[in-house]
Amino acid sequence: MWCLPHALCVHAAKASKLPGSWSRPAAFMSTLLINQPQYVWLKELDLQEENEGVYNGREVITTYSRVRQASVADYEDTVKKAREAWKIWADTPAPKRGEIVRQIGDDLWEKIQVLGSLVSLEMGKILVEGVGEVQEYVDICDYAVGLSRMTGGPILPSERPGHALIDQWNPVGLVGIITAFNFPVAMYGWNNAIALICGNVCLWKGAPTTSLISVAVTKIIAKVLEDNKLPGAICSLTCGGADIMNLLSFTGSTQVGKQVALKVQERFGRSLLELGGNNAIIAFEDAVSMFLGAVEEAKKEGGTVVMDRPGNYVKLTIVTGRGHDASIAHTQTFALILYVFKFKNEEEVFAWNNEVKQGLSSSIFTKDLGRIFRWLRPKGSDCGIVNVNIPTSGAEIGGVFGGEKHTGGGRESGSDAWKQYMRRSTCTISYSKDLPLAQGIKFQ
């Protein structure tokens, strides 16, 4: 079960505008969780009563509970510093970049319990999952270290004598990373670790409801960069726009993802989209409203609610008695609702799986070997994650994470996802004295 975590503090307005006891600065400061004994561990993450909301190698101060919207000047300054930092980072050998990422992973591991506690406190998921998120970032750092010695393309045979073809990969430059509230650490880690070893610099915009997590993670990374005498702007943090990124990685709803894709496409930019998937859990009060709305809609459409309970605490709700084509079942509610349908045969249920607009994750439970491989083949599931005898949630960092259709088509994390953070060139090199043309063409 999930509930809304308490806000960590209130906006630090001027004392003259605060009513009653809030007019006393001392009283205001005493209400901050960081000043309460049971939350003193927040200081282990170098968090203070006020923290930087924009980071580009220097500190810009904002309020404790939220990252302020960066001004145009902040944003332009951050982008400028990030591009300057890229000139240094791109010249750093890939294995050396891997070493820096290794150090980031080590420092994250040292703070894994306290950072996991912050994830639980600010985002609302249980502690073991908060710690698991940080572990996932640590794991992708380990993966990226090895990858830093393996990226690159082959030398290809040429049809022309005395010639060679090289598949050359280079970093795209500045990667913008916009992450969602439900995985405030892992989603950034998937992108950040791989983007860094590929030679890119990163500009992160975390979810506004998990701003402290963004600040804490950035502080850990910044210390590693500064200890190695590298520009802190290699990994920047801002709440500003993202209109001049070479690659924009966005994780969030399909609705917002469409807007992001259109904006990026207007300038012929590149985007990596990981959008809605129809298999989620809730963590905040507005999600409870969406949950209740979806349950009511299911009832209106004739569904039977098997479980429910009042208040802002919800348990898994099972809805039966509706057809597979019920509109609410095709909507990503971002809530703990399971729609159960009876099917007649394999072909029918495979089609139902594929008829929804989302295409993130799917799973089948069976001991039939033939059915397993039909599920994996062209007429089986059309999702990006296709599981057998395990739930739809949970993914290992060694494989790519992402989905098809309205889920956006983006791929993050393992396998060959690194290619999305690089640009590709085919290089033809002649080492002969002749200049033959391809396809045997000769100009007489």
Active-site residue list: 274
Cα separation, 383 vs 397, whole angstroms: 18
- Backbone phi, psi, residue 430, to 5°: -100, 130
Token look-up 């799917």 returns 362
**DSSP codes joined into one string, 377-437:** STTS--SSEEEESS-S----TTSEE--EETT-S--EESTTGGGGGEEEEEEEEE-SS--PP
- Which DSSP helix (H) or strand (E) runs through 248? strand 247-251
Cα separation, 6 vs 18, whole angstroms: 20
Task: Of 140, 215, 211, give the one whose Cα is nearest residue 421.
Answer: 140
Cα separation, 379 vs 346, whole angstroms: 11
Name 373's Cβ contacts closer than 8 Å, sequence gap at least 6: none
Amino acid at 400: V
Task: Of 334, 385, 391, 332, give the one whose Cα is nearest residue 365.
Answer: 391
Task: Of 288, 284, 61, 332, give the one whose Cα is nearest residue 181.
Answer: 284
- Which DSSP helix (H) or strand (E) runs through 220? helix 211-227
Q: Phi-psi region for residue 349, left (φ > 0), alpha (ψ -120 to 50) or beta?
A: alpha
The conformation of residue 330, written as its DSSP 8-state character, comes to G
Which pair of structure tokens corresponds to residue 422? 């690089």
Collapsing DSSP states into helix, strand and coil, what is residue 193?
helix
Token look-up 């001049």 returns 244
- 159 vs 163, 370, 408, CA distance in Å? 8, 43, 38
